[in-house]
Structure 1
């Protein structure tokens, strides 16, 4: 039976967020994120329409690579995919991927990744405090994990870290998303947290209207595709120079 999806189920906690969760199941979950995100997250389109053009512009204007920060990399599949698309296309990206979870850092550090990707165990606030800046700041499936205070902090950090663009990519809560994921994840879920955590993620996620109400002035929220929403911020020249 499909649970009510009228409101965000913020009381739910994902299994992988438990520090005492089964390590082998966690690693299987990380290892399969690439397949899941490849099917549902739409990063190929985001790369093609938003990131690659910025990189080409940077190359023309200054000859410099486009610097990208991935906040909350999890299994590390998104920065690796971006880097490989860029290599194939001759696009110069330099990607820093951060996550405060030592388990995620250990897993990602052991994976095969292009030399243009650097994994770090850190928070966005630590990078702000260090005065670091990047052309693009992005995340995948991070926003629905955050309470209101943490959401405000990550969005504020993103504004301070990004010179040109912020893209936070997340699920849009809905019945068809829930039912479709429940059925479609079956081949990948054994021995992992993919089914339980994925369904809880959908229940915790925002609708487009809810997320638009939650982001600060200056941000906009767009529907990327059915069941996907983007929180977007483009710094003005005044903000990016401050």
Structure 2
């Protein structure tokens, strides 16, 4: 079956704050158990062998949600001796408010390392300009978009990134659908609904390969992670840190 796009309740501008907060809290807990940030950190870990230690490395996180990915990336970098500065963007104002509260709670005095902005992913070149970040990451976001906008945002990611890009999203399969149903059995109703429609909007590996070919992203490797129902398309440009 082709991708099926259905509006997600968490994206509604009038979603009640307490309902959104409960959903984001549940998703943070799930991501912590299932390694939601691990897919990004695996790529960063491989690439960090050539990172400088005398200046910051920059990362843009598109559709940051509650900013659990920026927090995890910052903590990982500190443990490895790197100064990773993360910019998170999201189009939903209430989500950003909750994200700022989460960053403050988790990082305290280190909150300056994470900057959060309200922005539309399809207009980021106008907001930041080409090659504004070392790395650009989009996790569990592009499945919200129709095919043509998926291509648009990936091209924008490539233009924004000096060194590399990471796209992590849902692998559309019966296995993933079953996994999401099991994980969300005790979830808030909004999560149950959005989880189901998210899988329907996910991508098959063939679709991702086709996207990679259309955008000439042969330098990005596709990996499937079936135990968590996700895939990554990630790559660092050859000689990235010689630029």
TM-score range, shorter chain: 0.7 to 0.9
Equivalent of 1:214 in 196, 211, 214: 211
Secondary structure of the residue aligned to 1:19 is: coil
Q: Once the 2 structures are TM-superposed, how far is the Cα of residue 42 of structure 1 from its aligned partner? A: 4.3
Alignment check: 8 A CA contact 2:39 2:168 kept: no
What is the CA RMSD across the aligned residues, in angstroms?
Answer: 2.4
Alignment check: 8 A CA contact 1:98 1:121 kept: yes
Structure 2: tracts of 5 or more residues without a match: none
Query: Residue 32 of structure 1 aligns with which residue?
Result: 26
Query: Residue 96 of structure 1 aligns with which residue?
Result: 87
Counterparts of 1:222 and 1:37 in 2: how far apart (Å)? Answer: 21
Q: Which moved more, 1:130-139 or 1:140-149?
A: 130-139
Within 5 Å, give how 1:24-173 maps onto structure 2.
24-40=18-34, 42-47=36-41, 49-59=42-52, 63-111=54-102, 112=105, 113=107, 114-115=110-111, 116-129=113-126, 130-131=128-129, 133-173=132-172
Query: Which runs of structure 1 show a deviation greater than 6 angstroms over 4 or more consecutive aligned residues?
Result: none
Secondary structure of the residue aligned to 1:110 is: helix
Are positions 1:8 and 2:3 aligned together?
Answer: yes
Higher helix share: 2
Structure 1: tracts of 5 or more residues without a match: 1-5
Counterparts of 1:65 and 1:55 in 2: how far apart (Å)? Answer: 12
Q: Which moved more, 1:33-42 or 1:67-76?
A: 33-42
Alignment check: 8 A CA contact 2:224 2:230 kept: yes
Counterparts of 1:24 and 1:42 in 2: how far apart (Å)? Answer: 23
Q: Once the 2 structures are TM-superposed, how far is the Cα of residue 125 of structure 1 from its aligned partner? A: 4.9
* Count of matched residue positions in the alignment of Structure 1 and Structure 2: 229
Counterparts of 1:30 and 1:177 in 2: how far apart (Å)? Answer: 20
Q: Once the 2 structures are TM-superposed, how far is the Cα of residue 43 of structure 1 from its aligned partner? A: 2.5
Counterparts of 2:117 and 2:133 in 1: how far apart (Å)? Answer: 15
Q: Once the 2 structures are TM-superposed, how far is the Cα of residue 173 of structure 1 from its aligned partner? A: 0.9
Q: Once the 2 structures are TM-superposed, how far is the Cα of residue 221 of structure 1 from its aligned partner? A: 5.3
1:16–1:202 Cα change, 3 Å: same
